Amino acid sequence: MNEQIRFIKVRGAAMEVWEMGEGAPVVILTGMNSPIWEWHPVVQALSRNHRVILFHRPGLGKSEIGDHTRRTGAIAEELNELLPLLGIHEPIMLIGHSYGGLCAQHFARWYPSKIKALLLVDSTSVNLHRLDDLDLPVMDADNDAAWLETCLSYSEKTREELKVVIPLGWDSGLPTPLLEKLSDFQWNPLMYAAMHSEVTWWKEDAWIIKNGPRFPVIPLVVIARDKKSIIRQEDGLPEWEKRIFESLWEKLMYEQTRLTEGSRFIVAEGSGHAVHLNRPDVVVEAFHHLTKKVQENEGAGGSCPIH
């Protein structure tokens, strides 16, 4: 499998891009504080028959942060500009996880001719504001304001200072070369500056996406985490709060299937939010399902719903 890492200037800033495999293009948009390398199990599987592309958003990894405010619209524009620079002039299959899923929804609505299928993996919902309406005394302490305060504080520290306050903790099951790439990912002050901007704007961006252009008629699969698995975790949070939160989270995930007719909903049993790490097999199987539907559509000469 062909693999390369290169830096491509997009909107005036160098972007770190990882590619593997040959064939029809697949782009994966990662979540907040999520390095592209942790998608290795999924990338390795998909790249057997596809050209898989991931990139670190500005400020993450070795990508320059640039001068643009970090919002979903900026990421959609960057992806639109990146594709022809990679020699891609055909519609892509797009995978979006968490915040990357919100960005994927933005891209799909604003650039419908450039996407032929979408896989949302425990994606941030355009209705995420509804989570704020829950009365959860303990969990509410970890709200947007707390995130913003932490991100601002971390963005003003040096790498050495961040190493003191943030312990290294990555899945040791990943290959050693990838663990080396991950070693200082979370100690990058620019990432927290980018996250501060993303969190500042994500609810307004969600509203813009929800009220933007119509979602295209394309095959869609939505994967949700296993709420039972989350509730069982020993994390010090009240079980009753987790039950309420996870029930609404799953409902928001299911509502994403209404974006287009005939979409498919999957619960990744035993998985937390990081489905690509906990259950990469579910992601791969869902992708293969989408691939078959895309092939059926192309054979029929147009778009059709999936079942």
Task: Work out the pLDDT band at 303, boundaries 50, 70, 90.
Answer: very low
| Both structure tokens of 10 | 């997009």
The confidence score (pLDDT) of residue 181 equals: 73
| Mean local confidence (pLDDT), 47-62 | 96
The confidence score (pLDDT) of residue 179 equals: 73
Average pLDDT over the chain, rounded to an integer: 92
Per-residue pLDDT of 67-100, as tens digits, reads 888 999 999 999 999 999 999 999 999 999 999 9
The confidence score (pLDDT) of residue 68 equals: 80
| Mean local confidence (pLDDT), 243-268 | 96
Per-residue pLDDT of 186-239, as tens digits, reads 899 999 999 999 999 999 999 999 999 999 999 999 999 999 999 999 889 999
- The rounded distance, in Å, linking the Cα atoms of 237 and 231 is 9
* CB neighbour class for 254 (10 Å; exposed up to 12, middle 13-18, buried from 19): middle
3-state secondary structure the chain: CCEEEEEEEECCEEEEEEEECCCEEEEEECCCCCCHHHHHHHHHHHCCCEEEEEECCCCCCCCCCCCCCCCHHHHHHHHHHHHHHCCCCCCEEEEEECHHHHHHHHHHHHCHHHEEEEEEECCCCCCHHHHHHCCCCCHHHCCHHHHHHHHHHHHCCCHHHHHHHCCCCCCCCCCHHHHHHHCCHHHCHHHHHHHHHHHHHHHHHHHHHHCCCCCCCCCEEEEEECHHHHHHCCCCCCHHHHHHHHHHHHHHHHHHHHHCCCCEEEEECCCCCCHHHHCHHHHHHHHHHHHHHHHHHHHHCCCCCCC
Reply yes or no on whether the pLDDT at 305 is more than 60.
Answer: no
Reply yes or no on whether the pLDDT at 266 is more than 70.
Answer: yes
Q: CA-based angle 240:245:246, to the nearest 5?
A: 100
Task: Work out the pLDDT band at 304, boundaries 50, 70, 90.
Answer: very low
- The rounded distance, in Å, linking the Cα atoms of 218 and 69 is 30
Evaluate whether 25 touches 50 at the Cβ level (below 8 Å). Answer: yes
| CB atoms near residue 265 (< 10 Å) | 16
Share of the chain above pLDDT 90, in %: 83
The confidence score (pLDDT) of residue 178 equals: 73
* CB neighbour class for 58 (10 Å; exposed up to 12, middle 13-18, buried from 19): buried
Reply yes or no on whether the pLDDT at 173 is more than 70.
Answer: no
Evaluate whether 64 touches 14 at the Cβ level (below 8 Å). Answer: yes
Task: Work out the pLDDT band at 283, boundaries 50, 70, 90.
Answer: very high
The confidence score (pLDDT) of residue 182 equals: 77
Evaluate whether 39 touches 70 at the Cβ level (below 8 Å). Answer: no
Q: CA-based angle 190:96:245, to the nearest 5?
A: 90
Reply yes or no on whether the pLDDT at 104 is more than 70.
Answer: yes
The confidence score (pLDDT) of residue 39 equals: 95
- The rounded distance, in Å, linking the Cα atoms of 238 and 294 is 43
Evaluate whether 37 touches 174 at the Cβ level (below 8 Å). Answer: yes
- The rounded distance, in Å, linking the Cα atoms of 214 and 202 is 19
Evaluate whether 46 touches 21 at the Cβ level (below 8 Å). Answer: yes
Per-residue pLDDT of 128-145, as tens digits, reads 999 999 999 999 988 899
Reply yes or no on whether the pLDDT at 3 is more than 70.
Answer: yes
Evaluate whether 29 touches 1 at the Cβ level (below 8 Å). Answer: no
| Mean local confidence (pLDDT), 146-164 | 94
**Antiparallel, parallel or unpaired: β 3-10 and 115-121:** unpaired
Q: Which position has the token pair 């891209």?
A: 107
